[in-house]
Amino acid sequence: MKRALISVSDKTGLVEFARGLSERGFELVSTGGTAKVLMQAGLSVLSVSDVTGFPEMMDGRVKTLHPMIHGGILARRSKPNDLTAAAEHGIHLIDLVVVNLYPFVETAAKPDIPFDALIEEIDIGGPSLVRAAAKNFKDVLVVVSPTDYPLVIKHLDSSGGPATDFRFSLAQKDFVHTGAYDTAIATTLTGVDMSSGGVAKIGNVDGAPKTLALTLRKLRDLRYGENPHQTAAWYTDETEVGLGGAAVLQGKELSYTNLLDLDAAARIALEFDEPAAVVIKHTNPCGVATSSTTASAYINAREADSQSAFGGIVGLNRAVDIETAKALISTFIEAVIAPVIDEDARPILAKKSKMRVITADFSAFAGDAGIEVRSILGATLVQARDQVTEALSSWPDDALRVVTQRKPTPEEWRALRFAWRICAHVKSNTVIFTGADQTLAIGAGQMSRVDAVNVAKMKVGSGVLKGSVAASDAFFPFRDGLDAINAAGATAVIQPGGSVRDAEVIAAADEHEIAMVFTARRHFRH
């Protein structure tokens, strides 16, 4: 009789799959909680303890690490000596291993998890079972993901049973799975400080992990990279959140630049609790707006710079409803990303069949610094993700400093907060102009702040910026930038401050009767 060993922490689809195996002649062997679930479902299950002759012990730390288990997995059917050894020692061959590992990653993500509890989520037996089965893939099927259960059943029912290439594809996935698991453990534990009286503190002690190992799984090849002559692919880690867990509902294949723009759009949309829309071109926003509805937010964001918005990427922080869908298809856009697409909006979006429609859940990244990884020639840079934490509370705020004689009006305060949350996401150097809920002009990626102001002014008609506010991602090194902002028509400015010529810049603002706020925090984006 064929034998299947099942030991899983994720019980999704477990009973149905196990019943399918039983119906196909497999004897089921299982451990603790998994065995209990299967027996409650009326399935006949042989416990691992009955196989090994030893009870599960040490709070479950020791149960499957035994020659009766691993001998049954590792025995090569093509090697007579292996089969003889198994027979001599009463080892029953195991033909299928179904294992997924303790939820270490999910546990580590909990903010207040005790260190000892985290340690107990380091799986020992599970990875050993998976590696053993994957090593002997020619003889043993190994399954680590519930999503593969239907596929395994299909191949078991095929003529001649599962082919070698299918077995090997599962083994490849299994080694990636255990590799990612080990990487997560190693990376997490480098951020643990045990130096203070033996009390563990989880967190990046030195600001960044001492060791960083990445294990990524390819989702798909991309059409091309930044340019058609460059190859590119899309990868994810095992968490599959954000764009790693995105669903492409319609449209042409995504390119490398599409994904960069979708990421830029999602990052800005995350800044807002109210309905917000972002239009991106070449990773820079050309329009951002908030409103009472998603549709009006999108229309206002698009109209902030309608010329640049043509062919852009749209990010939304709310579901796409019917009205938003109608607005989206009224002009040409390359792609839209949102947390959800309402079912009755889908047929409307389908009228633009080439438009890429993507859903993704970015909520896990709200308030989470995380890390960002970027390659340079021969090395890798790692930093914490930039967050505009100073804008989380309503303004005015004690963390801010009004440095001019005139203080911002309530309406200017609203606009300054809106502008500051956006300018952090615009390529440096940047100066942007906004109202309280809509961008008006964006000067991005310039070598000087005067140039940034002039680029922004160039995009709008005369008088459009009168009464606006301006935000600069870094300090003004000279008063000329402030003079240019005044000439454009802005009445209030927000910037980090910190220049040796701050006094000169403040004096210029007072001369123009401009209210100016220092944040004491720079937001470069290179």
409 vs 424: CA distance, rounded Å: 23
Task: Name the token pair of 490.
Answer: 């802005």
| Cα–Cα distance measured from residue 445 to residue 110, given in angstroms and rounded to the nearest whole number | 38
Rounded Cα distance, 213 and 229, in Å? 29
Gap between the Cα atoms of 376 and 386, Å rounded: 19
Tokens of 351: 């009228």
Please say if 155 is a catalytic residue: no
Beta-bridge partners for 62: 57
Strands 401-402 and 431-434: unpaired
Q: Crossing angle for the helix pair 67-74 and 80-88, nearest 10 degrees?
A: 160
Q: What six digits make up the tokens of 130?
A: 């998976």
Burial of 439 by CB count in 10 Å (0-12 exposed, 13-18 middle, 19+ buried)? Answer: buried
Q: Name residues whose C-beta falls within 8 Å of residue 198's C-beta, 6 or more positions apart in sequence.
A: none
Reply yes or no on whether 512 is catalytic: no
Residue 132's SS3 state is: helix
Q: Determine which one of 135, 155, 252, 326 is catalytic.
A: 135
Q: Provide the terminal-to-terminal Cα distance of the chain, rounded to the nearest Å.
A: 62
DSSP string, 86-99: HHHTTPPP--EEEE
The single residue of 155, 252, 282, 326 carrying the catalytic annotation is 282
Both tokens of residue 19?
Answer: 């019943």
Return the axis-axis angle of helices 125-135 and 164-189, rounded to nearest 10°: 150
- The catalytic residue positions are 135, 282
